[in-house]
Amino acid sequence: MSKSKKTAPHRPASAYCPEPKGTLIAIGGHEQKSNEPLADDGGAEFATEGILKRFVDELRGNGPVLVIPTASEEPQEAGQDYIKAFGALGVERVEVLNIQTRDEANSEECIRLVDEAAGVMFTGGDQLRLTAILGGTELIRRLKERYAHSQFVIAGTSAGAAAMSTPMIYQGRNDAGFLKDEIHVTTGLQFMHDVAIDTHFVARGRIVRMAQIIATNPGCIGLGLEEDTAVVVTEGREMEVIGNGMVVVVDGRHCQGNTIHQIKPGEVFSIRNLQVDLLARGERYTLPVQEHQFG
């Protein structure tokens, strides 16, 4: 029996973005390891089946996989872990782009590797490092072009997933969110528009902080990705859940009683009639994406 498909209310085709030909895979962090408990992002001994296997299966052509560990405080270690992981999955060539400056992100060598690659993996760490170092660079511009016009795969885990969206959550304690201004957002790398991604979602109790993000911009859809769980997005809007946890979708477009604009910083906000969907592996959801230019 096929899984049910959740979909947003119908909107005219003109309201949707031009369909990118590439695939996005946003991972909630802590991808399953072989016969080991969940550990910090970037650990070795990845499972030969699961989310990373799906990433490899989505690749087209013979180009290398590029690993970008810019978000990580230990980029060399994170890069080597993914060389090992993808090698175990049969990827013959893995290149690590340990980009630490904007000049490096604008270099001809980086752009050449992007042009050759079949896909890219952004590791975990601090998503603000990704936007501050990579935002607006030739590297990101070329990745968007590849994503828009070819069967190119862009994946990110933890911080690498959070940075895909606009807006991007970059600060806020796990137990915070019900007081106005406890949560901070900025512009992400903008591979997905009008979507806010948060990771480690159930394990770290982040539903309230997502609710505040949606309260400040009810036109966005919130995607809360649990650990060892991911979404595969095709055509810029068709989303499939994979992995062993769940995805929490928070839709505030029909909310009522939203007080976030009326209260002072430090006060508790209210919001009613949020639609919340809990989606397990195999479920599908159509994102109500507005018209944007990807590349």
Cβ atoms 245, 226 nearer than 8 A: yes
149 has catalytic annotation: no
138 has catalytic annotation: no
In sequence order, what are the residues at sequence separation of 6 or more whose Cβ sits closer than 8 angstroms to the Cβ of residue 92?
A: none
Give me the residues paired with residue 33 across strands. 36, 46
Cβ atoms 231, 241 nearer than 8 A: yes
Catalytic, out of 58, 226, 227, 240: 227
Match 């592996």 to its residue by tokens. 281
Catalytic, out of 31, 72, 158, 165: 158
Catalytic, out of 200, 226, 240, 283: 200
30 has catalytic annotation: no
- Longest alpha-carbon distance in the chain: 56
Give me the residues paired with residue 154 across strands. 24, 120
The residues annotated with a catalytic role in the active site are 158, 200, 227
